[in-house]
Structure 1
Amino acid sequence: MRGFVDSIAFLGQWGRFQQVVFFLLCASIVPNGFGAFTLVFLTDIPSHHCLVPESNLTKDWRNNVIPVKVVNGKQELSSCSRYRLDVVRNLSAQGFIPGRDVNLTDLEQEGCVDGWSYSKDIYQSTIVSEFDLVCSEQWKQPFTSTVFFIGVLLGSFFSGQLSDKFGRKPVLFATMAVQTVFTFIQVFSTSWIMFTVLLFINGLGQISNFVAALVLGAEILTGHVRVIYSSMGSSLGFAIGYMLLPLFAYFLRDWRSLLLALSLPGLVYIPLWWLIPESPRWLLSQGKVEEAEAIMRKAAKWNKVQAPRVIFQDNDVDKTEIHTKQRLSAIDLYRTSSIRTTTLILGFISFTVTAGYYALSFNTPQLHADPYISCFISAAVEVPAYISSWLALRYLPRRLSVIVTLLLGAVPLYLIQLVPESLSNLSLALEMFGKYGFTTGAALMFAYTAELYPTVLRNTATGIYTTVSRLGSCVAPFLLKLRGYLLYLPYIILGTLAIMSAVAALFLPETLGRPLPETIQEMQKREDKVSMHLWKRNPSARVTLGQSTVII
C-alpha cells in the first residue's frame, strides 16, 4: 500500500500549487510577529512625576516641588511623591527660596493626588500613561503581559484539539479573525480592565494561528519544500512581522494609533479563504476521500500535470481505521510508555527554549537607549537563526541539531559571567548569540514535533507543545527579576536548563528522511524500530526512564 507522499508524487514538489500554499501561509503568519511583542511599546513606562497644577508658585519653587532621589548612583525626580503643595504655596507666597531659606529635606511629602505628568520624548501615550499604571498601580503593568500569555497558553491548548476535530483551515482563519477583530476593539478601550480582557481574548488567537498554519503547510507540502517551510519559511514570516513592528511604532507613538494600524492588515487575508486549501491528510484521516481527491485534482490543474484516475485508493489510511482515529485525543499522547516519554521530553525542551527566547528578548532594551532600535536588533537576530534551523533540518539529523542549538544557547550565558564590566559590548554580543541559539532551537522544535506525531494527533501534539512552551514565556519576566538577588542568576538558570534539555534530547527518536506517520501505530512502530536498531548496536547502553527503556 502506498503512503500519502507516494500517492501525490505526480504533483511534484514545487509547482504553482505548492508555491501558492507556501507563500500565502507564510504571509498569514506575519501578523503574529506584530502581536507577540506589541506590548513592548504598549506597556512601556515613560518617565513621569507628580502633576503640579497651575498655581501661584515662584519659578524656584516650581522647579523644586518634586523631590530628587538617588537611583543607581544617579539623581532622578521622584516618580510617586511631591512636597505638600499647600505648604509649598504658603512658603512661595512668603518669598522663601528653596535650598537657601528652607531645607527641602525637612518638608513633608505627599502622593500624586492630582495625577502624573508623563514625558513625551519617546511616546505620545502608552496604556501606562493612559490608565496611570504607576506607583501603587504599577503591578498592573507586568500583569498585563501575564494575562496575554495566559490567553496564548489556553489558545494553544484548545486550538490544537479543535484543529484535529474540525480541520486545519477553519481554525487557521478563525484565529486570524480573533487577532484582527480584538486588536481593533482594543483601540476603544476605556479602562485598564477592558483593555486587559480584550488582550486576553486576542492572546487566544496569537500563537494558535501560527500553529495552525505550520501544521497545514507541513501536511500539504512534501520533501525538501516541507522542511524549508516548517523550519525557515513560517518562522521568517514571524520575523518579518517582528521587524516591521518597531517601524510602525516609530511613526505611530500613540498606543491607539499603533493598535489600529496593526489590526488593518488582517483585512487583507480575507481572500485567502478561497486560495488556501484544507489539509488532504486531515481529510483522509476523517474518511473524506472525495474532498481530498478534489483538492489534489485542482492542484494538478494548477501544476499543469495529469492526475491519475484514482489517487488515494491504495493509501494506507483506510476506512477501517477512521473510527479509531476520531476517538484520539491529548490523552493518547501519554497512553503508551514510549510515546509518553517522547511527549514529556518535548515538553521540557519546549519550556526551556521558549523561556530562554523570551527572557533574552525582554532583556534587549539594554542594547540601545532607543527602544525602537533595541526591538529591531532583537528581531534581526532571528533571521540568521531561522536560516540556520532550515540548514540544520536540511542536512543534519534532527536530534543532533536540537542538542547543538541548546548548547549554543547555554554556553554564551555561562561565559557572560567571565566578561569584565568594561567589556559591556562583549556581554551583549554573547547574550544575542545565546538568543540566536534558543531561537534556532525553537524553530527546530516546531518542525521536529510535527514530524514525530501522526496526522490524527499532529495538531493536538503541536498545540500541547506550544502550550507548555507558553509556560516558559510566562516565567521569563520573573527570571529576569532574579538579578536583584544575584546579577547572573537568570543566565545560570537558563544555561542549566539548556544543558539538562540537551541531555534529555538524546532519548528522542530520529525523523530525518522518514515520511510523516499517518497513524499512532506507525509512530509506535517507528520508535520500536529505532530502539531495536540501537539495541543491536549497543545492548549495554540503555537507561530506564519511567516505565520505558530508552536506548542511548
Structure 2
Amino acid sequence: MRDYDEITAFLGDWGPHQKLLFFLLSSCTISNSFYGLNIIFVGDVPEHHCLIPENLNLSEAWRNKTIPLQGAEQQRSKCSRYRLDVIMNLSETFPDPDFLNMSEIEQEPCLDGWEYSKEQYISTIVSEWDLVCNNNWKEPLATSVFFIGMLVGSFSSGILSDRFGRKIVLFGAIALQTIFSMLIVFSPNLEIFCLIMFFRGIGGLANYVAAFILGSELLADSMRIVYSTFGVGVFYAIGYMFLPFVAYFIREWRTLMMTLTLCCLLYIPLWWFIPESPRWLLSKGRVEEAESVIRLMAKKNGVTPPPKIFSELELEYIKNNEVKSVPFAQLLKTCNIRAITIINVLIWMIISMGYYGLSLNVPDLHGDDYLNCFLFGAAEIPANIATWFLLKKFSRRFSISGALFLGGSVLLFIQLIPSDLLVLATVLVLIGRLGASCAFFMVYIYTAELYPTTLRNTGLGVSAMASRIGSILSPYIFLLDAYQENLSLILIATLTIFAAIAVLFLPETFNTPLPDTIDQMKKVKWFKCTGRTHSN
C-alpha cells in the first residue's frame, strides 16, 4: 500500500504550483503578528500625571508645584497630587511656592482624572479609559483575554479543521479575525473591547494553525521543515516588522486598528487560488474531489498525471479505513508517556511566557519603541534560519536546551549591567528573545516527533493549550517590577534555565523514525518509570 507522498510523487517537490501555494499560505500568517502584538502600541501607557482643573484660580508656579516629585530622578508623581483645598489656601497667602516645604502637605489621589502626554500618542486605550494607577491591572487584562481566545482557538481549530476541512477553517478564521478587528474600533468601553479581543484571539490562532496544517499537507515531505521555518516563520516576521512601521505614522489607536484590519481584505482573492487538502478529502472518503485537486496541481506544474491516480486496492482501503480517536487519558496512562507529557507542558508554558512577555515589554526598554519592536520582529528571521539549520544537523534536545539556556543566561546577566549602559541591556533582551524564538519554533517539531501516531494530534493539542496558559500570564509578569527593579526578567530567566534543564530529560528523536504506537516511544532520561510501561 503506497502512502500519499508516493502516490503524488509525479507532481514533484517544488513545481510552480507548490511555489505559489508556499507563498500564498505563508502570507496568510502575516496578519497574525500585527493582530497579536498591536497591543504594544494600542495599549501603551503615555506619560501622565494628575489633572488639575482649569477652573481653579492658581498661578502657573502653583500649578507646577501641585504634583509631588518622587524618586531619585525627582519625576512628577503619576498617581497622586497635593490636596487641592490646602493648595488653594496656601496660594492665597504665599504667591511664591518656592519658599514652602511642600513635602509636609498631605497628598490625595487623582480625583479629577489624569492629564496624558501627547508627545508620542494621540490616544491609546490607556489614555481613553484611564487604565493607570489603581486601574493599571486592566490593560494587561485585555491582552490576557486575547490569549484566552487563542486558548479556545487552539482547542477548537483542530476539531473544526478535522470535521469541516482545512480551507474553510482558514478563511473562516481570517473572516472572524477581520470582522471583529473592525468592530473593536467602535468599542465604547474596556468591557466591550475585551469581549471583542477574545473573539479576535480565537480567529487569530485558528488562522495560523489552519495555514500551518494546510501547507504541511499540500507540500511534499521534503518541503515541510522549510515551510514551517522560512515560510510561516519568515512571513510572520514580516508582519511583525510591518506593525511598528504603520504605528509610527498612525498614533491614534482606533485609526491604527482600522488600518491594520483593512490590510486583511487582501486575503479575499486567495480563496480561488488555495485548494482544499487532498489528504483531508481522502480521510473523508471524498476521492473524486481529492483527485480533482491533484490533477489541477499537475496541470499547474505542467506534468501529466497517470490515467488512474489511485489503484482499486487503494480506493478500497480509503473507503474502509477509519482513524480511531484517542482519548486525552492516554497521555497519562503509562509512567513514561505521563513524564513526557508533564515535562512538555512545563516547557511549552515557560517558552510561551518568555516569548510573549519579552515581546509585550517593548515600551519599557531603553530607546525608541518603534525601532525596538522592528528589531524584535527582524530577530525572527535569523531565529528561523537557525531553527532550520539546527533541525537539519543537530540533536533536538541539545538544540532546544542550548537556545533556552542562552536566552535565560543573558537575561540574568542584565542585572550586572550598570545603569548608564542601557543600550547594552536592550541588546541582551533582544538576544534573550532570539533564544526564546528559536526554542518556540523547534519545540513544535520536537513534540510531534515524541508522540506516536495515535497520540500525535492529542499531544500537540495539549502542549499548545499549555503554551496559551503561559501567554495568558505573560502580560502580568512585568507588574512585578513595581516591587523590585528587573524582578520580571529574573523570573523569566530562572524559569527559562529550568526549562533548558528539563528538556534534557526527554528522549532524543533526531534521525529516528516516528513512533506509531505507544510501545515504540523512547524512554525519558535519567530516571526509571515503574508500574505499567506499555499500552496499545
Q: Deviations over 1:480-506 (max 9, x none)?
A: 44553584631542233222332133x
Tell me the residue number matched to 1:497. Answer: 498
Q: Secondary structure at the match of 1:52?
A: coil
**More divergent stretch after superposition (399-408 vs 189-198):** 399-408
Q: RMSD of the alignment, in Å?
A: 3.0
Aligned residues: 529
Give the counterpart letter for 2:35 in structure 1. G
Are 1:180 and 1:266, in contact at CA under 8 Å, matched by a contact in 2?
Answer: yes
Are 2:237 and 2:381, in contact at CA under 8 Å, matched by a contact in 1?
Answer: yes
Q: Secondary structure at the match of 1:44?
A: coil
Q: Secondary structure at the match of 2:501?
A: helix
Change (3 A) 1:189 1:481: closer
> Which of 354, 357, 360 matches 1:359?
357
Q: Secondary structure at the match of 1:230?
A: helix
Give the counterpart letter for 2:173 in structure 1. T
1:270, CA displacement in angstroms? Answer: 1.1
Tell me the residue number matched to 1:147. Answer: 145
> Which of 122, 126, 129 matches 2:127?
129
1:212, CA displacement in angstroms? Answer: 1.4
Distance in 2 between residues matched to 1:502 and 1:406, nearest whole Å: 9
Change (3 A) 1:131 1:424: closer
Q: 5 Å matches for 1:93-492?
A: 93=92, 96-100=95-99, 102-313=100-311, 315=314, 318-319=317-318, 322-325=321-324, 327-328=325-326, 330=328, 342-416=340-414, 424-450=422-448, 461-482=459-480, 484=483, 487=487, 489-492=490-493
1:428, CA displacement in angstroms? Answer: 3.8
Are 2:408 and 2:432, in contact at CA under 8 Å, matched by a contact in 1?
Answer: yes
Distance in 2 between residues matched to 1:319 and 1:336, nearest whole Å: 32
Tell me the residue number matched to 1:538. Answer: none
Q: Secondary structure at the match of 1:151?
A: helix
Distance in 1 between residues matched to 2:262 and 2:531, nearest whole Å: 52
Are 1:389 and 1:440, in contact at CA under 8 Å, matched by a contact in 2?
Answer: yes
**More divergent stretch after superposition (28-37 vs 269-278):** 269-278
Q: Deviations over 1:501-525 (max 9, x none)?
A: 32133x2544x485xx7xxxx6217
Give the counterpart letter for 1:148 in structure 2. F
Give the counterpart letter for 2:43 in structure 1. T
1:52, CA displacement in angstroms? Answer: 1.9
**More divergent stretch after superposition (420-429 vs 51-60):** 420-429
1:415, CA displacement in angstroms? Answer: 4.5
Change (3 A) 1:238 1:191: same
Give the counterpart letter for 2:58 in structure 1. L
**More divergent stretch after superposition (106-115 vs 381-390):** 106-115
Distance in 2 between residues matched to 1:213 and 1:298, nearest whole Å: 20
Q: Secondary structure at the match of 1:117?
A: strand
Change (3 A) 1:442 1:268: same
Are 1:160 and 1:461, in contact at CA under 8 Å, matched by a contact in 2?
Answer: no
Change (3 A) 1:546 1:283: farther
1:547, CA displacement in angstroms? Answer: 5.2
Change (3 A) 1:163 1:462: farther
Change (3 A) 1:332 1:267: farther
**More divergent stretch after superposition (117-126 vs 486-495):** 486-495
Are 1:410 and 1:498, in contact at CA under 8 Å, matched by a contact in 2?
Answer: no
Unaligned segments of structure 1, at least 5 residues: 536-540
Distance in 2 between residues matched to 1:364 and 1:85, nearest whole Å: 36
Change (3 A) 1:410 1:139: closer
1:124, CA displacement in angstroms? Answer: 0.5
Change (3 A) 1:409 1:136: closer
Q: Secondary structure at the match of 1:82?
A: strand
Give the counterpart letter for 1:476 in structure 2. S
Distance in 2 between residues matched to 1:317 and 1:118, nearest whole Å: 70
Aligned residues: percent identity? 43
Q: Secondary structure at the match of 1:53?
A: coil
Q: Secondary structure at the match of 1:123?
A: coil
Tell me the residue number matched to 2:45. Answer: 45
Distance in 1 between residues matched to 2:232 and 2:266, nearest whole Å: 18
Unaligned segments of structure 2, at least 5 residues: none
TM-score with structure 2 length normalisation? 0.89
Give the counterpart letter for 1:84 in structure 2. R
Q: Secondary structure at the match of 1:278?
A: coil
Tell me the residue number matched to 1:84. Answer: 83
1:233, CA displacement in angstroms? Answer: 1.1
1:50, CA displacement in angstroms? Answer: 1.8
Q: Deviations over 1:28-82 (max 9, x none)?
A: 000001012111111111111122222332222222222x2322x1112222233
TM-score with structure 1 length normalisation? 0.87
Change (3 A) 1:414 1:118: closer
Give the counterpart letter for 1:243 in structure 2. M
Distance in 2 between residues matched to 1:310 and 1:4, nearest whole Å: 14
Distance in 1 between residues matched to 2:346 and 2:443, nearest whole Å: 11
1:397, CA displacement in angstroms? Answer: 4.8
